[in-house]
Amino acid sequence: MPGDLRLHMPVRILWGKRDAFLSYEMAEASAALCDHASLTVFEKATHWVQHEEAQAVSTALLEFFERY
């Protein structure tokens, strides 16, 4: 097991608040393991956030890629 479990690179997390399989607390816990995390929560989306919020996901990713 590596000694440093933190992610030091920028990380973008996109999460559906109504995900029936993965809890929102998992998103927060994942972000806490990153030095530079950006968490975006889609309140009405489920596990399939990329299908349910396609335009918003594309926009969020493009903004992230342009920044880094």
Residue 45, pLDDT above cutoff 80: yes
Average of per-residue pLDDT across 35-61: 97
What does the DSSP assignment read for 20-51?
Answer: SSS-HHHHHHHHHTEEEEEEEEETT--TTHHH
Residue 1, pLDDT above cutoff 70: no
Contact call for residues 59 and 12 (beta carbons, < 8 A): no
Average of per-residue pLDDT across 30-48: 96
Give pLDDT, residue 6: 94
d(CA 57, CA 63): 10
Where are the domains positioned within the chain? 11-67
